Amino acid sequence: MSIREFERVASGVDTQPSPMAPQELIDRLAAAGDADAASAPTVAIVGGGILGVALAWELLRMGIRSEVFEASPSLGGLAGPLTLPDGVEVDRFYHAILSSDSHLAALCAELGIADQLRFAQTRTGFYVDGNIYSMNNIVDFLRFPPLGMIDRFRLGLTVLRAQMVRDWRALEGVSVEEWLLRWSGENTWRNVWQPMLRAKFDGSFADVPATWIWSRLVRVKSTRSGASQTEGAGHLIGGYRTLIEAMAKRLEQAGCPIHLSTPVQEVLIEGEGAAARATGLCVAGQMRRFDAVAVTAQVPVFRRLIPGAPAAYQKFLADTDYLGIVCPLLVLDRPLTGFWTLNIADTRFPFTGVIETTSYIDPKYVGGHHLVYLPKYTAPGSPLQQASDEEVKALWLENLQQMLPSFDPASVRFFEVHREKYVEPLHGLNETDQIPGIETPVAQLYLATTAQIYPALTNGESVARHALEAAQCIEAHLPAAAGRLAAAAASAGATATHG
Ligand SMILES: Cc1cc2nc3c(=O)[nH]c(=O)nc-3n(C[C@H](O)[C@H](O)[C@H](O)COP(=O)(O)OP(=O)(O)OC[C@H]3O[C@@H](n4cnc5c(N)ncnc54)[C@H](O)[C@@H]3O)c2cc1C
């Protein structure tokens, strides 16, 4: 989808027959009265990231009330905000929206925030052997100096080949190394792919299936349009927080509370074996009863929350692993590279890329700052997760200076280190059947989490789509006897058309 098409969807033109106006739905639910509300099923949602809030929104569209419980003081999770020492709020981690993100476009239209979307042309580069090369269009591609003519042709063929894969299942038993060697050849493997994969997986990638690179090549290609294949990226003014808060505001208006700074201690499970059933939550030492519980946190967190679940299920969940991240944000008084993403095919550096989000976000939206993220993905158990912020800062700045001699340390306004242990789910060769489903062996306990989004990449688009899928699953299993606020929704002519 081109940026223009995206804007058309976001403007609401393509969402016909139009979903009920959110305000109309909210007014109807608010007017539904206590009797209706008392008989309506209520779902507890654990986690107030994009997935948790979007799930509550989708359930509301189906006429099902929920309550969201978020451990931290603000919504957003990985897509949440960071307040800089000067009071300016920016994204804790870098987040781009692509013109192909059609579900997000429709969601923004429905919530009336499409006018907050901004897109810009961007540039991608490669840092190889001390040099930066543009990879923005076909001409750059055909000129890419680190590779010979045949290798460049084969690199182009690899990207094309990925677009032609119709059934990703054919790739899940093939290692990423085998697939890239087959299509790109030895030279490109050694000079481009191998160092990038080493950096990305913090060393070992022998068990990584080709689906990993396939989904990336397809997504990257979707940022490019026109004969010259120019690239674009976008954002909401205020980041994903604008989207999350638009949903949260309407949820609260419709009587779906959102509890911040409220960590869930345990999911209450009554009965054993086939009779096990989720009945509510333990929050701040208090029991709260619900018709169903949906957890949107990462699998290791989910596992800790369900001590009452069958032991075999607990054991099954223990197999899900994640890459973590250490991601300093460099706040500068001037641009650094001008590239959205500078990929680093050089394992000497501690970070895997230089991501300058103010290459597509106008600095006026982020306090006049220039924002550069320097991520390092970490394997489970990486000692880097334990390094102090000062150690990370010293190592990162020294290496940035080495990599970009024009970088002036005096341009640094703030240096903020953020880290997370569970960022990107790791799926090995032929491990699709190890992915836990939305339904669990415990009745009325649901898991909606990024590890289930496979082989697609986890991002705002795929997470919001997954929220719809989870809502449909929950809706289908809620006790039929329980009343639905759907009556109110249906009478307003609601049709869940986005997505
Ligand atoms: C470095 C980085 C770059 C990214 N780049 C992009 C990008 O360019 N574009 C894009 O679209 N996406 C991007 N993403 C991905 C995107 O951020 C995630 O896919 C998305 O935010 C996942 O949302 P979630 O709700 O599933 O999980 P999370 O955001 O992890 O939310 C889970 C929530 O559960 C809460 N929680 C956990 N335990 C409890 C408990 N016991 N009680 C209550 N609450 C609890 C947590 O506090 C958290 O808020 C990026 C992510 C990272 C880390």
Boundary (domain end) residue, out of 414, 429, 444: 429
What is the 302 CA–ligand 1 centroid distance (Å)? 14
What is the 94 CA–ligand 1 centroid distance (Å)? 12
Helix ranges (DSSP H) in 89-239: 102-111, 138-143, 149-164, 176-184, 186-188, 194-200, 211-221
User: Do 315 and 340 belong to one domain?
Assistant: no
User: Along the chain (499 residues), what's the average pLDDT of each consecutive run of 10 residues?
Assistant: 50 43 60 58 95 96 94 97 96 94 94 96 88 79 81 87 89 95 92 87 90 86 59 91 97 94 98 93 96 97 97 94 96 96 87 95 98 95 93 96 95 97 94 95 98 93 97 89 52 40
> pTM of the entire structure?
0.91
Contact 107, 243 (CB under 8 A): yes
The confidence score (pLDDT) of residue 143 equals 78
User: Do 109 and 219 belong to one domain?
Assistant: yes
The residue to mutate among 94, 95, 122, having the most atoms of ligand 1 within 8 angstroms of its beta carbon, is 95
3-state secondary structure of 492: coil
What is the 331 CA–ligand 1 centroid distance (Å)? 22
Amino acid identity of 133? Y
Ligand 1, closest atom to CA 466? 26
Q: Which residue shows structure tokens 């068990």? A: 207
Ligand 1 neighbours, Cβ below 6 Å, are 46-52, 69-72, 77-79, 93-96, 263-264, 296-297, 301, 305, 325, 327, 375, 423, 450, 458-460, 463
What is the 385 CA–ligand 1 centroid distance (Å)? 18
User: Do 451 and 306 belong to one domain?
Assistant: yes
Q: What CATH number is associated with residue 225? A: 3.90.660.50
Number of H helices, E strands in the chain: 17, 21
What is the 424 CA–ligand 1 centroid distance (Å)? 10
CB contact set of 74 (below 8 Å; sequence gap of 6+): 80, 81, 260
What is the 176 CA–ligand 1 centroid distance (Å)? 26
> How many domains is the chain built from?
2
Boundary (domain end) residue, out of 375, 405, 429: 429
What is the 366 CA–ligand 1 centroid distance (Å)? 21
Query: What is the domain range of residue 131?
Result: 96-237+321-429
Ligand 1: residue whose CA is nearest its atom 31: 49
The residue to mutate among 57, 75, 78, having the most atoms of ligand 1 within 8 angstroms of its beta carbon, is 78
Cα distances (angstroms) measured from residue 473 to each of 51, 308, 476: 15, 22, 5
The confidence score (pLDDT) of residue 479 equals 74
Pull the structure tokens for residue 341.
Answer: 């993403």
Ligand 1, closest atom to CA 420? 53
User: Do 101 and 208 belong to one domain?
Assistant: yes
Distance, in Å, from the CA atom of 144 to the CA atom of 138, rounded to the nearest integer, reads 10
Ligand 1, closest atom to CA 262? 43
Q: What share of the chain is helix, strand, coil (3-state, %, to 5)?
A: 40, 25, 35
In a domain, 194, yes or no: yes
Question: What is the C-alpha radius of gyration for the chain, rounded to an integer number of angstroms?
Answer: 23
Q: What are phi and psi of 382, to 5 degrees?
A: -60, 135
Could you check whether the bond before residue 425 is cis, i.e. omega within 30 degrees of 0?
no
Q: What CATH number is associated with residue 254? A: 3.50.50.60
3-state secondary structure of 461: helix
User: Do 41 and 158 belong to one domain?
Assistant: no
Ligand 1: residue whose CA is nearest its atom 16: 459
User: Do 203 and 326 belong to one domain?
Assistant: yes
What is the 321 CA–ligand 1 centroid distance (Å)? 16
Boundary (domain end) residue, out of 410, 429, 448: 429
The confidence score (pLDDT) of residue 136 equals 74
